[in-house]
Amino acid sequence: MKEGTRVIRLSQDYTFKTFDCGNPDLNDFLLQDAKEYDKRLLSVTYILETEEDIVAYFSVSNDKIAIPDSDKATWRKIKALFPHRKHRSDYPAVKIGRFAVSLKYQHTQIGTDILDFIKDMFITNNRTGCSFVTVDALKSALPFYLKNNFLFLDKAMAADDTQETYLLYYNLAQLLD
């Protein structure tokens, strides 16, 4: 991570510093909803901050990849990652529910650094077991996630440019090889 920053888990007594990522919905989630989501056990939010401001934040929650979420070819690829006796109708994942970088820090590689941090977090400190990271990527963020090796869960979605969000996944096991 960027020198002079620290990652903290959002707590109920956290006092917010300034933050604007340019997206009112993502700003509002952090400043208005994140503490309530944490309190109700819906997600956990982590904040990357400096002494002066919030650099970025992300919220994660439990998820799964299941047969109805994907096309048949993708599902076969996912199943092929596991020995036959371990095949299931769904596989555990962690979902990045919200992820935003302050306008001040956008286009500085910090987003990729945070994705790498999230991936590492669920490999080295994985408390529940998950094989994948999922995200419903906003259309505007799609190039970012694809550049960071996320894949479409349903390939038909890739060709549909009318979507507002796109369900993507990342296989954590590829980092173990």
**pLDDT score for 64:** 95
Arithmetic mean of pLDDT, 113-126? 91
Arithmetic mean of pLDDT, 155-173? 89
pLDDT tier for residue 29 given thresholds of 50, 70 and 90: very high
**pLDDT score for 82:** 86
User: Which domains occur in the chain, in start order?
Assistant: 6-175 (3.40.630.30)
User: 74 CB contacts (<8 Å, ≥6 apart)?
Assistant: 151, 152, 153, 154, 155
- 26-31, long-range: CB < 8 A, 24+ apart: 26/98, 26/100, 27/100, 29/59, 29/98, 30/54, 30/57, 30/98, 30/100
pLDDT tier for residue 61 given thresholds of 50, 70 and 90: very high
d(CA 4, CA 78): 39
**pLDDT score for 85:** 78
**pLDDT score for 128:** 81
**pLDDT score for 159:** 80
Q: What distance, in Å, lies between the first and last C-alpha atoms of the chain?
A: 23
User: What is the maximum alpha-carbon separation in the chain?
Assistant: 52
d(CA 139, CA 99): 14
pLDDT tier for residue 3 given thresholds of 50, 70 and 90: confident
pLDDT tier for residue 83 given thresholds of 50, 70 and 90: confident
Arithmetic mean of pLDDT, 121-135? 89
Q: How far is CA 149 from CA 53, 81, 133, in A?
A: 29, 17, 11
Q: Is residue 127 over pLDDT 80?
A: no
